[in-house]
Structure 1
Amino acid sequence: MNFRIIYIFFLLFISGYHSLFSQNKKLLYKNATYEFETRTVQLYSGNNTTNPATTLLGRNNLTLEFDDLVEAEESYRVKIIHCNRNWTPSKLKAIDYLYDFNEFNINNYKLSVDTKIAYVHYTFKVPNVKIPGNYLLVVYRGTDESDIILSRRFMVYANNVAIALTSNLKGLTSMDRSRQQLDFIINYENYPIQNPGDVQVVIRQNQRWDNAITDLKPSMLREHSSELEYKYFNNENSFYAGNEFRFFDMQSIRYPGQNVQRTNFQTRPTSAQLMVDKPRIYQPYTQYDDLNGEFFIANTDTGNGPTQSDYLTVYFQLQAEQVEGDVYLIGSMNNWELDTPLKYNKANNMYTCNMILKQGYYNFQYLVKSQELTPNYLEGDHFETENNYEILVYYKPPSMRSEILIGYASYTMNPVD
């Protein structure tokens, strides 16, 4: 069967999947894609695609990028929804938080160049908003807001309160050597808070929402000094430390990078077989500079533009004894969702799965979902691990109909020298 026939089958599969899936789309208030063709979605601040989708009020430096695995451009629009801290829609109307009408066209697009899998690359600059808080960006097709393509969370914060750590960023921060803990103080002397007990705190690890700590209440309130202290002894503000992320370098198809065993040009898409992974739970900890689960797109073969990188089918292999529970591949590449399960082959003690990914450099890990084992059972938990943490402070002023994001801070635990 030649490449043209295979590619036609691939396009027919995509079309059929789209027709079936687009009939029943329900908006999810989280990072999600709603069609098979929608790939490599990145919403970031500044010029680095691995940055979190978090920005200071008035800075207007958020960018959305994504690919559509089709051969011609489509008419896409964006709407923005203000949300409460728990990512439910707030009672605010668009006029309360936007300067413009809540319908933005995506006019910046480019077609892929000399790639086996044709696609259209879209770029959109997120508009300024009036108030700080949680926002959901929704892309939809044409004028039909129910024909959703993707949704993406972002946060806009104000520096109304000060956040100061009281624990160090190196070494053991918890009595449990498998965990990392953040102790901190919020000072609100320059911001009127009538009831400090109404302040709500959310902590994220490595831009993840699946294991975020929410609705954290202060352990101590000092009204005389306008301070809220967050220091606990029962793991209320601690995370499993995990391990440095596994990675593979797929920037070149012709000359596979680190942890890529081989590539096969005879398939369509081109396939990439990764090196066989092993469990790391009993291995000593080794620190190296990773992306904390993120990825970036790059192509050293033909050029480094966003439309020159091709898509590949990437095959993952984990050789391990079968565990009690399910094993999933996780990372920013699949929004940390448990939607990429690994299948186990008892004949060779191998877990396997595959994903269609764009050329670039990727971080990932294997997560275990089990009643008996910790999520990082196959990776190990080490208090020395380098992780990034974000502290988000929410409050609902009496004059507002919604919670707003009044403080934000980002810290790196065990930074790499």
Structure 2
Amino acid sequence: MKKNFYNLILLLLTPSLILCQVAEVSPPDFIKTITFKSNTTQGQLPVLKLGEPLQLEFDALNGNEEDFYYVIEHFNFDWTPSTLVKSEYLKGLDNQRILTYKNSFNTYQIYSHYELTIPNQQTRALLKSGNYMISIYDDYDELMFSRKFMIYEDLVNVGTSVKRSRDVKVIAEKQSIDIEISTNSVNFNNPLQTIKTLIIQNNNLNTAISDLKPQYTLGNKLIYRYDTESAFWGGNEYIYFETKDVRSSSLGVQFIDLKDIYHSYLFTNVPRKNQPYTYNPDINGNFLVTAIDQTDLDIEADYTMVHFSLSHEELKDKDIHVYGNFNAFAIEDLTKMIFNPESKRYECILRLKQGFYNYKYVVVDKATKELSEGVISGNFWQTENNYKVLVYYRDLGARFDRLIGYGETSSVNISN
């Protein structure tokens, strides 16, 4: 209750905060492996159908069996706070302690595994569609981390297809998304104002394209066929490694060593920008916790120190980061690589739970903080990428943005 009261006072005293877009908060170093689980996916951006349960899991590596609390907030399409009061979008209570946790068993790295499922006895239902943020606090009311998720109503059909870019300058490097929205249950009033769209590539909200307007209206259909506005850089297939067996080298791992915990040394990677495109099946930047000869992966999978290395000349005005959904595609100090003048390589060490991981190397400009995925990996129109399209609707006079449709496709069948 204290956190809710504090947030209310802030909003009353500083109305300008209502217009601020909210961003996810990365966890401290001792919280790892934040995953949203469903029947088919793990570790991906959660887009749930209204009424479907939300399951959040994470590990705390300090071994203190701390208490954690969760707070859920509703947001508009542009991630500004909505005007709904909590009782309008949440049945029951939040700001409750996460009751389900268990300690690691037979691992070198001691940790506690926490699980939160909604609905539960305190939070019985989420009532509205739209954008949500779940924030996790410790016992001292300090924010540990926050994650975005979406809930949709299945009211419109969202047809999506992936085409090669219509801009001949980047036809070999970009992919364009065509959208067709149709419905018999919603009367689109003034769709240029009431309909908003969000296109997400590989579950990465950082690169999403938002708020494209329909170009054509044919009866009850809205059609989007942009030349450049809906185009993404194709990128390249993610590199991957597997540490399901910490005692021996596995996929992508050159050798291992046991110190305080196991260390996994990956093969040194090289830039792929100027190499021909090669189809290399991946899971589009995501990860999957897995370990051999273990019954309960939640508490029996161990942590290893994973050593990344990239053969690349030193960049004076740019940083290189390890990039993937293992930390929700965040750019942080932990993912920054350090140039080793002796080996002429960029190096980085991350503590990761046993599993199968996708990653790539990205470049961040030190001055502008602009991120580029293609400087090292390259951009190819043939790359297999996953695309999600979300359709939001706010009728004239309505108080919040409903998420009324969801579509998903892959570029595996890309066409001209």
What TM-score results when the alignment is normalised by the length of structure 2? 0.86
- 2:128 aligned with 1:136: no
Amino acid at match of 1:161: V
Amino acid at match of 2:221: E
Return the offset for 1:374. 4.6
Return the offset for 1:188. 4.0
- 2:231 aligned with 1:238: yes
Secondary structure of the residue that 2:278 maps to in structure 1?
Answer: coil
CA distance, structure 2, for counterparts of residue 82 and residue 161 of structure 1? 22
CA distance, structure 2, for counterparts of residue 34 and residue 382 of structure 1? 33
Which of 343, 350, 356 is the aligned partner of 1:361? Answer: 356
Return the offset for 1:261. 1.2
Which of 202, 207, 211 is the aligned partner of 1:211? Answer: 207
CA distance, structure 2, for counterparts of residue 385 and residue 67 of structure 1? 33
Structure 2 CA distance for partners of 1:404 and 1:68, relative to 1, 3 Å: same
Match of 1:319 in 2: 311
Structure 2 CA distance for partners of 1:261 and 1:28, relative to 1, 3 Å: farther
Secondary structure of the residue that 1:209 maps to in structure 2?
Answer: strand
Matches within 5 A, 1:217-366: 217-222=213-218, 225-233=219-227, 235-265=228-258, 267-323=259-315, 325-339=318-332, 340-366=335-361
- 2:61 aligned with 1:54: no
Contact (CA 8 Å) 2:201, 2:385: kept in 1 or not? yes
Return the offset for 1:415. 6.0
Secondary structure of the residue that 1:278 maps to in structure 2?
Answer: coil
Structure 2 CA distance for partners of 1:106 and 1:47, relative to 1, 3 Å: farther
Match of 1:408 in 2: 406
Match of 1:14 in 2: none
Contact (CA 8 Å) 1:29, 1:151: kept in 2 or not? no
Amino acid at match of 1:215: D
Secondary structure of the residue that 1:210 maps to in structure 2?
Answer: strand
Secondary structure of the residue that 1:33 maps to in structure 2?
Answer: coil
CA distance, structure 1, for counterparts of residue 82 and residue 113 of structure 2? 32
Deviations 1:150-180 (A, max 9, x none): 2111110012222123x4x4x7354411011
Amino acid at match of 1:306: D
Greater share of strand: 2
- 2:81 aligned with 1:92: no
Structure 2 CA distance for partners of 1:111 and 1:54, relative to 1, 3 Å: same
Deviations 1:38-89 (A, max 9, x none): 11101233253144311111222x2101001122422222121001112222
Return the offset for 1:293. 0.4
Match of 1:15 in 2: none
Secondary structure of the residue that 2:72 maps to in structure 1?
Answer: strand
Match of 1:385 in 2: 383
Amino acid at match of 1:40: T
Return the offset for 1:95. 0.4
Which of 74, 77, 88 is the aligned partner of 2:66? Answer: 74
CA distance, structure 1, for counterparts of residue 404 and residue 21 of structure 2? 25
Between 399-408 and 310-319, the greater mean CA deviation after superposition: 399-408
Structure 2 CA distance for partners of 1:315 and 1:202, relative to 1, 3 Å: same
Contact (CA 8 Å) 1:264, 1:271: kept in 2 or not? yes
Which of 181, 186, 207 is the aligned partner of 1:186? Answer: 181
Structure 2 CA distance for partners of 1:333 and 1:283, relative to 1, 3 Å: same
Match of 1:6 in 2: none
Secondary structure of the residue that 2:240 maps to in structure 1?
Answer: strand
Secondary structure of the residue that 2:229 maps to in structure 1?
Answer: coil
Return the offset for 1:139. 1.5
Amino acid at match of 1:178: E
Structure 2 CA distance for partners of 1:98 and 1:399, relative to 1, 3 Å: farther
Identity %: 31
Secondary structure of the residue that 1:212 maps to in structure 2?
Answer: strand
CA distance, structure 1, for counterparts of residue 189 and residue 381 of structure 2? 38
Gapped regions of structure 2 (runs ≥ 5): 1-19, 120-124
Amino acid at match of 2:356: Y
Return the offset for 1:315. 1.0
Deviations 1:237-260 (A, max 9, x none): 011011110001111111221111
Between 372-381 and 356-365, the greater mean CA deviation after superposition: 372-381
Deviations 1:189-240 (A, max 9, x none): 4202322112111110000011111122222334xx022221112x210110
- Equivalent residues, number: 381
Contact (CA 8 Å) 1:44, 1:52: kept in 2 or not? no
| RMSD, matched Cα | 2.4
Amino acid at match of 1:382: F
Secondary structure of the residue that 2:206 maps to in structure 1?
Answer: coil
Secondary structure of the residue that 1:356 maps to in structure 2?
Answer: strand
CA distance, structure 1, for counterparts of residue 359 and residue 300 of structure 2? 24
What TM-score results when the alignment is normalised by the length of structure 1? 0.85
CA distance, structure 2, for counterparts of residue 28 and residue 396 of structure 1? 18
CA distance, structure 2, for counterparts of residue 115 and residue 337 of structure 1? 27
Gapped regions of structure 1 (runs ≥ 5): 1-26
Deviations 1:329-365 (A, max 9, x none): 1101122112122122344321111111111111000
Matches within 5 A, 1:109-124: 109-124=101-116
